[in-house]
A and B are shown apart, each in its own frame.
Chain A
Amino acid sequence: MALTGVLRPGFVQVRVLDMQAAIDHYTKRIGLHEVMTGEDGRVYLKSGDEFDHHSVILRKADHAGSDLMSFKVASEADLDSFEKRIVAYGYPVDHVPAGEQPGIGRRIGFTTASGHRFELYAHAEFSEPKPLIHNPDVWSVEPHGMGARRFDHALFYGPNVDENLDFFEKVLDFRCAERLDTPDGLLAIWLSCGMKAHDVAFVKHPEPSKTHHVSFELESWADVGHAADIITCYDISRDVGPTRHGITRGQTIYFFDPSGNRNEVFAGGYTYYPDSPTRTWDHTEIGKAIFYYERQLNEAFLSVVT
């Protein structure tokens, strides 16, 4: 088996100011399904094209942003092995018991030099709806809204991006698919744990623990256009797009949830193989790197985070 260790992004816990408005946005508009509400009020969501129990958790809070992102690893033994490696690197590791989130096994947690909490887990129960597996039709429940197929990745903002790169490569066995350098040093990295162009990304920013966007994958460029129609029709706050990223080549639109957290829906992007060289960008083409058609950053890209 080619994929070992960290398999893929698992879930992201998003802070929301108005729970019902958030549920409506992520289910009716982005197209996720509500799995359940936990005893502490957190709401668990998934795409109908994901097997595991949930991929998005909404937590009511008095400020926006995200609490954590998790990755699923291949086995329980991987959890023990990653814990040793993370501790050896010098980061404390804490333990979250199975069931703290319904349907999810034990997790280990740690905080990166950028101030972000990440967790690893090996076990997740399935929940409905999920893809069919015997003589499968293309879906078990007809897609709705933007038709998000999965929680795909997140982009975080914080300091010490160089150390994050070193940590994710050396300790979690990620590879750097693309990087953006400026005369002031490394500005941003796009990291892959599998064969996608990115599973998590970081941009250098003075404030730690910030979230730029949480991203969902769509089937096609036409679906990105349909998402844009939904964004205007339901007066969702649009940031930029539809456009394409030079980095990853994803076809994209950025918008905001009702609490001001940036979302992305995107399609496409290249396949990243473990032997692919890192693609590099410099400050002279930063506009094209981020927004390939506009060829310039909008003011919000570097300054608007939660």
Chain B
Amino acid sequence: MPAPYKITVENAGEATCYENERVLVALERAQGFGRLKNLPRKLPVGCRRGGCGVCRARVLSGNYRTDPMSRAHVSEADEAVGLVLSCAIYALGDLSLRLEAPQPHKQTPNIT
């Protein structure tokens, strides 16, 4: 299947993802165009390089390839069941995703 691919975010909307583009970057663009209207909260964007873990997501269906991801956030067992950092995966076809709830220590503390 040739790119661009369709990324469906469960209960939120759709994004268009180009060849060799990080899925999170495609989601950021879609959010900018108002295509992810029903996200429960702002798209979690951190380092975009597989290190910080804020963009954890579960791939519900579709093929993809990955860059290295920090094992502090995605274990081998996680990876085997489709848990990924969305910044470190590249679509190889249409994908369906569920954004994972943030880990408790990743939530921004209330400082006001």
Contact = CB atoms under 8 A, between A and B. Distances in A.
A244 interface: no
Contact of A283 (B49, B107, B111): B111
A3 to B, nearest CB: 35
Interface in A24-78: 62-65
B16 to A, nearest CB: 18
Contact of A259 (B46, B49, B107, B108): B49
Contacts of A283: 111-112
Contact of B111 (A64, A182, A259, A306): A182
A260 B50 contact: yes
Nearest to A64: B51
B107 to A, nearest CB: 7
B58 to A, nearest CB: 20
B2 to A, nearest CB: 23
B46 A257 contact: no
B80 interface: no
B111 A256 contact: no
A262 B111 contact: no
Interface in B48-97: 48-52, 54, 67-73
B105 A237 contact: no
Contacts of A256: 47-49, 51
B68, B71, B108: most-surrounded residue (chain A CB, <10 A): B68
